[in-house]
A and B are shown apart, each in its own frame.
Chain A
Amino acid sequence: MTKLLMIHPEKCTGCENCVLACSFHHEKDFRPAATRIHVFTWEREGISVPMMCQQCGDAPCIKVCPTGAMHRTTGAGVVDWDTKKCIRCRMCTQACPFGNAVYDVLTNSILKCDECQGDPACVRMCPNKALDFIEDTISTRSSTKAFASKFKEAFQEVK
């Protein structure tokens, strides 16, 4: 059974420990611009929402990738990015409906969540249990999608 990252925005305090943990895990330093998880905070409303790659079943980033750098190993939950095959055309960053694939100038890389090979640093460091890494059952998947559609609405309202 594959696992998936669930987010619970109602528990998020906006502390960004997940952002720092992600940057530290992947880059060994602290640089929020180099994170694979993003936290958006609306200060006036006091709401914070963490977002990362949804590992879409029918992933636009895979479809749009001209070299097969963005790919999914058969049966796996995670969409993987192959640095050797990638030509840095950044089509994936435009295709992602959530903006969760990002190009980083400093490292010349596509930054997207790789679930830290099965032990996500963000989940470990979240002090509020706003992030979960759980079995991908039918029920969790449906609630993930429900959350996903909430961000979509939120973003559409804000933009």
Chain B
Amino acid sequence: MNGWTGTTLRVNLTNGDISKEPTNMENARNYFGARGLGTKILYDEVDPKVDALSPENKLIFAPGPLTGTFGPSVGRFNVVTKGPLTGAIAASNSGGSFGPEMKFAGYDMLIIEGKSKKPVYLWINDDQVEIRDAGKIWGKEVPDTTDLIRAETDEGAKVACIGPAGEKLVLFACIMNEMYRAAGRSGVGAVMGSKNLKAVAVVGNHPVVVADAKAFEAAVMIARAKIQANPVGGAGLKAYGTDVLVNILNQVGSLPARNFHDGHFPTADKIGGESLSKNVLVRPKACFSCIISCGRVSKVTNPKYAGEGEGPEYESAWGFGADCGIDDLDAITKANFICNELGLDTITMGTTIACAMDLFADKIITEKNTDGIPLHFGDAETMVKLISMTGRREGFGDQLAEGSYRLAKKYGHPEYSMTVKKQEMPAYDPRGVQGIGLNFATANCGAAHVRGYTIAPEVLGNPFKVDQHTTDGKPALVKTFQDLTAALDSTGACLFTTFGIGAAELAAMLSACTGIAYSTEDFMKTGDRIWNLERLWNLKAGFTKADDTLPDRVLKEPIQTGPSKGDISHVGVMMPEYYKLRGWDEDGVPTEVKLRSLALL
């Protein structure tokens, strides 16, 4: 077997059954692995109407066919499940070494079913798989959980686990691996918690084999050289991390501030990558097989916020920073550390606090609702305090643990929640950058930047520059980026490889790896197929075209200051053309012709 291992591991936690089955190779050919193959399993096996936190939901861990090789930055895996935050399909993507180790243990996928009666963890020691008691580990934070499980299994084990937030079913809990890497969004950690599964530990000694070693090495060397020659992929991300984007987005007037009341944050430089490198960075760190090294090992010495760990990423620095009106990098970094330890998605955490501050500013909630805690934009100390309370569902934190949509709705004002499909928008103002707004509105997992990162052409000029303010040509741009990303995610590659390479280079590596000849066109069509299958699942879950929009605030209230002053999002203008390009009818439903062309009918 080339690229794929050919084996899928299935574990039923209700009855303790552990079984190995051949990976369906027709599905593998058509969906690659990771996000695509996981989606196919979810589509075939899970009723879209199930309660995300019920035993009927399944949790699928899936690396890609390139994962485990020395392709540049291809060591990723996806967690596919029904997301409890959104009710939509979730495919949360993480790096580290966990995905490659799954391959070395011999598995293309791990499918978790049912629910254990008591807390357990799964120990995958190559061919030997066992469900073990996690009674003594339940309640522990992520780094301690990792250490304790390694002590019980193998000191070199790769451990994916939940923290207290996942156990307490916080709707935006993550699954963390190698302590600091996160399958972050949509609440996949809560699904794991609902199954009483604390962790999965894995060690493997199988080879990942490629079909044509010589051709594979040649394709890898071309891809590596292109990424290394790219100013972002080859230098910028290592020097400054993703947080370098703070100043860039602020300079183009598209860094959302104070719960999207504005698109410009005057003191942004204090929380940007340049300040991060000067003040809290210890060293850059890479995931397995990565040549980019965007990870930040960081340390805060200020006694008020002292700690060590990793982060912040751009999205986190913005969520705890500009979106909460905060410019204290020490506090922001501490907030990120706490999220890592408790297993919380930093984007939804930061933006939910911002929403609460907004509700408080407009007196929709008062200290009576917040356990006496005043919530003011700019109050860093309170922001940090609220995170621990949320991760453990203590006091007002119990309300924040439901995410901004449910919080704002509870007090009668859902319009204060900056969400699409109940998932919070990340750090790009869709009023200032039109294409990314269309991507937020149509992303199948709810608002997310990593489904179709049009920021690359619209702001960074990679691989070409387009006008950020226009809607012209954006539906086609968004579709192309969404399809490319769906296919790329499904190989196991990191999105950041697109700072250097595209579908042609990825298809070349995948072909030499698997022995199946994929053209650039095949590669993009696979992305389209995955996108449509996710869409079909969401439609069956009850989503309609009414869900393909953005919060009223960004449709009606213009950006107040900065270079994009006066802009609003024109997402509605772009939608009909987007549907048409997708081959969907005016209700956003894929046509029969379209489904047939993708072999989905």
Q: Which residues in A have some Cβ–Cβ distance to B below 8 Å?
A: 10, 13-17, 20-21, 23-24, 27-34, 43-46, 48, 106, 125, 127-128
Contacts and interface: CB of A to CB of B under 8 A. Distances in A.
Nearest to A124: B221
A15 B286 CA distance: 5
A43 B19 CA distance: 32
A117 B596 CA distance: 55
A125 B286 CA distance: 14
Given A20-B70, A43-B179, A128 B289 contact: no
B70 A21 contact: yes
B243 interface: no
B595 interface: no
Interface stretch (B164-172, B203-211, B367-375, B380-388): B203-211
Contacts of B282: 46
Contact of A31 (B180, B207, B295): B207
A28 B285 CA distance: 27
A30 B285 CA distance: 22
B578 to A, nearest CB: 38
Of A16, A44, A127, most buried by chain B (CB within 10 Å of CB) is: A127
A127 B208 contact: no
Nearest to B181: A43
B534 interface: no
A23 B289 CA distance: 13
B468 interface: no
B210 A16 contact: no
Interface string B55-72: 000000000000011100
Interface in B100-148: 104, 143, 146
Contacts of B261: none
Interface string B165-207: 0000000000000111000000000000000000000001111
A126 to B, nearest CB: 9
A24 B512 CA distance: 14
Top 4 nearest A-B pairs (CB, nearest first) are A46-B297, A15-B286, A20-B70, A13-B286
Contacts of B70: 17, 20-21, 24, 30, 125
A17 B291 contact: yes
B291 A30 contact: no
B179 A30 contact: no
A158 B516 CA distance: 46
Contacts of A48: 285
18 contacts: A13-B283, A14-B286, A15-B286, A15-B290, A16-B97, A16-B288, A21-B70, A27-B207, A28-B213, A33-B104, A33-B204, A34-B207, A43-B179, A44-B308, A46-B297, A48-B285, A125-B70, A127-B228
A29 B178 contact: no
B146 to A, nearest CB: 8
Contact-residue bracket for chain B: 35 or more
Contact of A24 (B97, B180, B213, B291): B213
A44 B208 CA distance: 29
Of A15, A23, A27, A34, most buried by chain B (CB within 10 Å of CB) is: A15
A13 B285 contact: yes
Contact of A46 (B210, B285, B287, B288): B285
A29 B308 contact: no
Contacts of B483: none
Given A44-B308, A46-B310, A125-B70, A13 B284 contact: yes
B207 A30 contact: yes
Contacts of A14: 285-286
B69 A127 contact: no
B346 interface: no
Contacts of B310: 46
Contacts of A30: 68-70, 207-210
Contacts of A20: 69-70, 289
A23 B209 CA distance: 11
A31 B104 contact: yes
Contacts of B180: 43
B217 interface: yes
A61 to B, nearest CB: 23
Given A15-B290, A20-B70, A43-B179, A29 B207 contact: yes
A14 B178 CA distance: 12
B291 A31 contact: no
B293 interface: yes
